Structure 1
């Protein structure tokens, strides 16, 4: 068998089965969007049992985990090329599982020890990352990318900064080998020296206050029985100073063939947050019988909102855009809700554009909005794409907050190419005003945050031009009780032209002409490309 190119029909060698494979157009597309592509089609015996996979396609830039060139793999099967890959998470083992259950696999970040098993069945010669495996036209398609030199050290440095700033410490526990590992930051959370042996989750009760040990025990049992991510809060007494600290632990089980083979997670010292919450609770109790309680709570919400949502912004001047913002409360003088916007210049020159709406009103909505806004700001510093930012924000909202749900639209504007990459979580689409015409943009997939921990978000790109105006807004600007959302969007787009030379006056006119009657707050962010 000769190795197929992206211009050939991909064959499959299977006894008693008709040839089939991946369409050449699909192969060409894969080669264009993925750095390294391997397509393997099953080989079966006369009884239909799987015996091997033919390697029927390799991309021009294929990076072999075993360190060989594509020419050296020509004419080989998967087991001939990688004879030790039939166990664990090897290429053959993964391909067989995908063929059996049809469920795609995705491993973000580094592939190999310690996070996943090697692809070749032994120590991989070439380091790869961002593995994706899926079934297409009866064949198994693998894609990954090479990991450039220095990526491990850069990731380790970034992880160190995150752990220090968030008082986080990572850990994992391998049940197959009995190995427990803690990062240095994990030892610091417990006030222990890194030279000491890390402690397994089942033995951690020796450091936990007696009243909180049942919580820790239920947390571990939940991970093993429910096989889903979980979190818990408990108190410890640090041996170095006798201080009582509030520790949050969150973890996820690692499954192999349906069994929990390991746990991995993080400890976080949340004592400062807990003490703040206790102080706030005491303050609320003291004000319970006071006529000023409602007024003071409202004033706090106003200050919080004004602190993070000023009436205007000069951000974006160095990114080649003009910015105008408007906010309209549901009632005059009551700036208390979960609507927010954010414009942030990122390292490297990109511009983060965000508009969101946390459900509800009052102090709960404002504090939820503050948490979401600050979380997105912190996550954006990692360089993640908008779809990844929304996925991480949704995960945090589901697991680490109580009752925080809402819609968000998040974009990353590159001033060098004038391209906007954006994603949305249940939010209304942006409106693009170009050449005197306003167009509502097609919606990518994405549910609102805080509903489903595993929700995924689609990302799209929008090429902008000089003079374009992009409008991001919340639903309180356009929704009406008697009109469908499509009609409301069409009327909003029609009212968005003409734009006029003064962007600030233009935003004020749009806000003044909006005819929403739902009694909800409204937020508008207008961005003009210079």
Structure 2
């Protein structure tokens, strides 16, 4: 779309009827010099590209810069008089033509009385026009533009011609416009400044195609980034909704005659790190309690969906009353055959209230922590490989008889792992904090919250799942 704006511009000299290929006046020479400076430092000050203030005049040398007066200078010559500074040399036509090419700038003059038109050499390159065709009259300039831009450009040309005919209209200020032309190399974006002067119109045109293309690329990148953010936020909402539908509330607790079970599920601080951590605490026919904690590799909605399949499958398999090692063998076969490129870790077992026997197995998962008489230690894990790694590997099983007052902690690696510390350091902090839970005066729930805070708070990179079983009399 063609825009119009005003602003002072350097005047051009009268046409001489010849195409010199260079700018014929010092003011416009200065303008091109300013364009080159602007292109060098990447500034965009809102004015027409390539036009700014005239170059600063040469300053006189400071006293420290002045050359020392030789001792041979007669005393009659005042030493304080600086030597004369020669004026700067005017740029050659070749230098001006080179500046036009670098800045993508061309100039033109239209004499509205004689009809004479003069174009600089680079004007032909800007419009993709052969020099043998000669310059284009001002009235014919809109015909070079794209059809959609012609009416607006014609209006701009008409306005500047009116100012020539009536010097009082607009006080001779230049008119700015932007339009497009089509050449052999595609569509180009041009910016023009038309300035009325006596019976003539001076024009300067700059090719700003590269700038507009860069702006388009930036705008497209911003649009794509916004779409990615919106999709990520939408996926986060779906992931959270799915997690809430699958898992009980993060602070859920179950009170039984023989035990109190409390759960802490702490999502990762970074929304992109929401993963597939899960837990299960379900009573079974016959009075036994099935306990499990697991972690599916990956993050986001895919990991959450795979977690749901594994958790539901494992809960369904417990109805067979099979031992924990056999449950994991079946679950491993499911991962290998139904969940491509997926791995997961699980620790699970049965707690039998009458005997207080905890029978458990693990698949590449961290072993539970047992707190007894205020001392915390990690149980020795039976053999077990990660789910989805290999087939045909047997899983071991272990047993431990719990005592009244014991506290059993099952957890995912998000509890102890941090980027800023070694996993052994995190485990040591967890054991120390777990040993102090029994001394916490506000009960098991407050003790678990204190444990998470003491070992560093929520993990910014991964979810944390903690299941605690407090054995009662």
Q: Highest relative contact order (Cα 8 Å, sep 6+), 1 or 2?
A: 2
Give the structure with higher Rg (CA).
Answer: 2
By percentage of residues, which structure has more strand?
1
| TM-score of the aligned structures, taking structure 1 as reference length | 0.43
By percentage of residues, which structure has more helix?
2
